[in-house]
A = this chain, B = another copy of it.
């Protein structure tokens, strides 16, 4: 698709009144009626719902089995079992992280996702090979997907000497953020791991996105340590805590204190609406002004068979798990799966307003909630003015 002028007639932005959408040189230039669209290619929107491009703010595209023959799942119950099972499978299957990340990116494009933040494994066994593979995919899809990489010490940091230097090298190679994981439960040295990654973040001038599966008081203590370091280093707006299951497990007084600090320090909470474990109270965080974003987490990988990179399905699961049955609650979830993710990724030109990058999706649904619960194939997906998917098929 050429990058000049495109008029899409009769679309309903976020379910509001019908309008025409004019895109020029990759940017939304108007959304209204009686537009001057001389010379533009014309598409009929047929009254479909117009949504901003969906944002998958937490996934693991280097590790999906998507597009491979079916793997039977057999990992043990603990997180450490899954980490070890994954490292074993990685050795045995010898999948290419470049091929696999490309497979997931194409699937995400089909589903209307225009922005992905992905955590990419860095460890002393594979070194930077996955980072390099995902950077190659980032380059390959540069016109059809905005991709942010977090250098992710999946197998631990303090317990695996050499990992710190690899994380720094990953940033130097092009990763956008530094990651962390369960500083208490995996590394058994919360202050040590957090000092290490905040130090890298400060020296390399990058943001932080930390996996925190830790339950109850162990998780709360890690959050306190993250708050302290964010405050001390002036890293407001630069820190994300992913999962933060403990926020769904704490006594009220403790929770409300943490929420106040998360808001004050502009720390983002990422949730994927897990199936079986407590998770953050999304609406309460959102209404308290804490930034919230959402992601697929791993899809069809060594951790489990679920997931399809569809952020509308993710929105359904998050609402279903939270017992949100009202339309306004599911509209909040959609905001988290779009604007929430774009904010944490620092996308200044995101949205459906004139001047925004032309990243959007058309869906045959009446309302945002209808789209979330029915999840029809995406009729049209547009990235920076390019049509990247149509009628459920990826064109890239």
Query: Footprint of B on A, CB under 8 Å?
Result: 69-70, 72-75, 275-277, 300, 303-308, 316-317, 319-323, 325-327, 330, 366-367, 369-370, 372-374
Q: Which residues of B contact A307 (CB under 8 A)?
A: 373
> Can you name 23 A-B residue pairings with CB atoms under 8 Å?
A70-B366, A70-B367, A70-B369, A72-B326, A72-B367, A73-B325, A73-B326, A74-B326, A74-B327, A75-B325, A275-B320, A276-B320, A276-B321, A276-B323, A304-B325, A305-B330, A305-B369, A305-B370, A306-B316, A306-B319, A307-B373, A308-B373, A317-B320
A319 proximity list for chain B (CB < 8 A):
275, 306
- A306 partner residues in chain B, CB cutoff 8 A: 316, 319-320, 325, 373
- Identify the closest chain B residue to A302 (Cβ): B325
- Residues in B with CB closer than 8 Å to A323 are 275-277
A139 to chain B, nearest CB (A): 29
What residue of chain B has the Cβ atom nearest to residue A325's Cβ?
Answer: B304
Known A275-B321, A306-B373: A327·B69 in contact at CB below 8 Å: no
Alpha-carbon distance A74/B324, docked complex (angstroms):
10
> What's the dominant secondary structure at chain A's contact region?
loop
- Least Cβ distance of A300 to chain B in Å? 7
Bound complex: CA of A366 vs CA of B305, how far in Å? 13
Given contacts A73-B327, A305-B330, A308-B373, 7 further A-B contacts (CB under 8 A): A73-B325, A75-B325, A275-B323, A305-B325, A306-B316, A306-B320, A306-B373
Contact A305 B327 (CB under 8 A): yes
Q: Which residues of B contact A326 (CB under 8 A)?
A: 72-74
Q: Which residues of B contact A75 (CB under 8 A)?
A: 325
Contact between A366 and B69, CB atoms less than 8 A apart: yes
B322 touches A276 (CB 8 A): yes
**Looking across the interface, which residue of chain B has its beta carbon closest to that of A370?**
B70
Would you call B300 and A373 a contact (CB within 8 A)? yes
A369 and B73: CB pair below 8 A? yes
Nearest residue (CB) in B for A305 is B373
CB-CB < 8 A to A316: which residues of B? Answer: 306
Give A320 to B306 CA distance when docked, in angstroms: 8
- Which residues from chain B contact A373 at a C-beta distance below 8 Å? 300, 305-308
B residues in contact with A320, CB < 8 Å: 275-276, 306, 317
Residues of chain B contacted by A370 (CB below 8 angstroms): 70, 305
Task: Report the Cα distance A308→B316, complex, angstroms.
Answer: 12
- Do residues A303 and B325 form an inter-chain contact, with CB atoms below 8 A? yes
- Residues of the B chain whose Cβ atoms lie less than 8 Å from the Cβ of A317: 320
Chain B residues whose CB sits within 8 angstroms of the CB of A276 once the complex forms: 320-323
